[in-house]
Amino acid sequence: MDHATPQPLSFAFDRASGELSATFTPTPGFPPLSLAFLKQAMADNGLTKLFFQDSILNGFVRKAEDAKEAVTQVIAERRDGEFALEVSDDLMSASLTLVAPFGGRAKSVEVVNAVRAAGITYGILHEQLRGALTAGHCNKLVIAQGLMPTPAEPARFESLLEEKEEELAEIDDDAVVSYADMGHLLLVSAGDPLMRRIPPVPGQDGIDIRGGKVPARPIADITFAKESIGAEPSADDPDLLVAMVPGQPTVIKNGVKVNPVIDVENVDLSTGNLTFEGTVRVSGDVMTGMKLHVGGDVVVNGTVEAAEIVAGGSVTVKGGVIGHSEGVTATAGTTAIASRISAQKSVQVMFAESAHIEAGESILVLGNARHCELLAGDEIVVGKGNPRTGHIIGGRVEATNSIRANVIGASTTTFTRVQVGLDPYLEEKIAIKEQEYARKVAELDRTIKQQAYYKLNPEKATPEILFETSDKRKALAYEVKVLLEEVGQMKEGIVAAEDARIIVAKAVYEGTELRIGHETWPVQSDLGGGTAQLFEGDIRYNPKK
């Protein structure tokens, strides 16, 4: 009978404690125990699934090398799987760390139960969780993810001025356009849109991994800047900022300022002709060929060349008006004019030459007026504060009440016409009003004849037509009455010529024509200072005492 050869290495596994013990018995004919041999023996016996460490195995091998008798030591153990479930403080994520078992039991069921116990019901990443449980191990793997709140979008402000700038740049290729008419200055009128406010978009609430609501962070509802002077939200659309006054817009943070006063260095080709409802201040000059039409005042610190200024307020030119008359032909009895200023109120200039200046109220020329047309609804004063100036030389000067100057005419007998006692504008206004009166009278006459025709031929008109014709006659009769009263009032407004004066401080030269009311007096010889006025229907010149 054969006997098995005794083996020096043997293993014993205690199922209760889960510990694996190894015993090495020194045996003649067998080599000493090595780590490689020990690991191979464990593998051959299916023991490598247990938890072991090389340091423990090496310690056992060293003991066996010096042993004279059998050596026994625990070299491995059974271990169940382990896990750690971490839930973030904000409840927006959960991560799993899973340690695989060593010969023991996996904790898959426990992991699932722990997820439930933690109250995780939303955002579970099932595929990641199944993959980790199948693999048996993972390290801080996110297995549940909440839905983060969607951030709110703050209010946005979009300038609409770019559209107006594009309008300035648009030119009809087929149109004949003067370069001076191409406005280069961005201006707005009252009611023009300036800026659009895009309201804020509220954020969307999120959901944490326990199914709870995560409120979106609130955001301030920003309105148009309070510094938006000259602009306000539209009454029809509170998210649309519109200009309240005409002016020059400037974009600021969350708004637009509108300056009702335009300040420019010069009015020239760089600005283009200006049409504006407010006030314009020019620090320099208004250059030849330019046009400036404004609803308010105009202040020019420099000079006005052969240009045109029309103002709804007053005009002040601190450097004088120099109209270049070259190439401008004067008709009989008129002056060659190349510079024109018109103001509803008053005009003040340092001096004027070859200029047409008219004002609804008064005109003040601080220096001299040479070859000009000056027309004022009240008075004209030429020369103030300097006795060496105040000359009216050539041209035509007309005012309703009075004209004052130091000298009228010139020693060269330059023809100069000066007139007072008649409103330069009123006769034209009366003529227009009388034409309107004549039209209404003619229309009333036709309506009366139409009524008479319907009375003789009642079958030709329905009751509605008769009613409309009667109403029309009444309305026209009222309009004719009002127009007649207006014409009468305007004629009464003509200043009595007897109250008008032409006052001269130093001299009136031959060649001057003085007019008061409808009376004319050609000056036949040089005169000293004095006052011209009507006396018993004739012009009388009273020398200065």
Q: Could you write out the DSSP letters of every residue in 439-493?
A: HHHHHHHHHHHHHHHHHH-GGG--HHHHHHHHHHHHHHHHHHHHHHHHHHHHHHT
Q: What integer pLDDT is reported at residue 275 of this predicted model? A: 87
Q: What integer pLDDT is reported at residue 5 of this predicted model? A: 46
Residue that is written with structure tokens 């260095």 in the block: 265
Question: What's the rounded Cα separation, in Å, for the pair 40 and 45?
Answer: 9
Tokens of 182: 């191409």
Tokens of 32: 């000493």
Q: What integer pLDDT is reported at residue 486 of this predicted model? A: 85
**CA neighbours within 13 Å on the CB side: how many for 218?**
3
Centre a 10 Å sphere on the Cβ of residue 43 and count the other Cβ atoms it contains: 10
Q: What integer pLDDT is reported at residue 337 of this predicted model? A: 62
The CA–CA distances, whole Å, from 234 to 154, 237, 243, 272, 545 equal 21, 5, 9, 30, 66
- ∠ CA 383-388-394, rounded to 5°: 60
Which residues of the chain register pLDDT less than 70? 1-6, 164-184, 325-337, 492-497
Q: What integer pLDDT is reported at residue 4 of this predicted model? A: 45
